Amino acid sequence: MKGTLGRSEIEVSAIGMGCWAIGGEFGPGTQPWGWGKVDDSQSVAAIHAALDLGVTFFDTADVYGCGHSERILGQALKGRREQVVIATKFGHQFDEASKQVLETNSSSEYIRAACDASLKRLQADYIDLYQLHFGLDDLGEVPRVRDTLEALVAEGKIRAYGWSTDDPARAAIFALGEHCVAIQHQQNIFEDNAALLELCEGQNLSSINRGPLGMGILTGKFSSGAALETSDIRHASPEWMAYFKDGKPNPEWLSKLESIRDILCMGGRTLAQGALAWLLARSSNTLPIPGFRTVKQVQENAGVLEQGPLTRPQMQDITGVLRAG
């Protein structure tokens, strides 16, 4: 299963791999923004497994592990750059040595410096998709940011750009740019952003779906009392995180998942594969990016490429069950 990245001619696999978790530990102060400790050799093996299974789209950010995720991705893709599409993000300043996240910055000078730093860490001559990674409260700044990104396209440093935002108004302003091809936003069975999907479909943008597995909830591996590492962002449970409460899986989400388990697992799918198949059926513009840390996780997630999207009757059954609940 393949498609193009929005209105560009960049060909991508139907799902990608999200590289947040392979960045390791980082964050502002003592607050964890990572997913706990990582094994870099395991991360590289997982990336290679994804390539072998037909995944060609990898999404990361310079701030993941304060540069570490980009470095590992660059290491794993060395010699195979032309086979893949690399997406990364900018906007969070950080100290790579201490793994501390600092302030946000969207100045033209910083964007250019961040782009050069990402290229170096990725061992790449260009970035396929370069994405703004924070909300940018002053919308008057958006045209300048967009113009800076257009200049980077003209210089050959990036091929296209997008914005990681859940706000349709912000996305619509960015979409006015000629080389804006994607909006990354929260999207899964239980968090359906219909307005952003409508915008992406209308503007022919890729809807890059972060949180497609609800940060692990939709894999079915968590019980109501499951405990997490203290260095895992899910243990800290930020306010925006609906999937976990007080460091434990949200029982409301677990109950919802149980109610549609049988539908998602039809045809021998795992729960994770069913959740990804729902996204593929939700819109022809969706591009889910499930996270990973192991070869086994990659193999399971990539299985949806052979299985394809859920059927229309299955989608209707899920809608009916959730509404009734």
Query: Is the Cα dihedral 45, 50, 51, 52 positive or negative?
Result: positive
What tokens does 31 get? 């607050």
Give percent helix, percent strand, percent coil of the chain, each to the nearest 5: 45, 20, 35
* Catalytic residue chosen out of the listed positions 64, 130, 161, 243: 64
What lies within 8 Å, CB to CB, of 214 at 6+ separation is: 188, 189, 190, 191, 243, 253, 275
Between CA 16 and CA 313 the distance in angstroms is: 26
The reply to whether 64 belongs to the active site is: yes
- C-beta separation of 182 from 160 below 8 A: yes
Question: Would you tell me how many other CB atoms lie within 10 Å of the CB of residue 86?
Answer: 26
Interhelix angle for 271-282 vs 251-264, to 10°? Answer: 80
* Residues forming a β-bridge with 209: 185, 288
Catalytic residues: 64
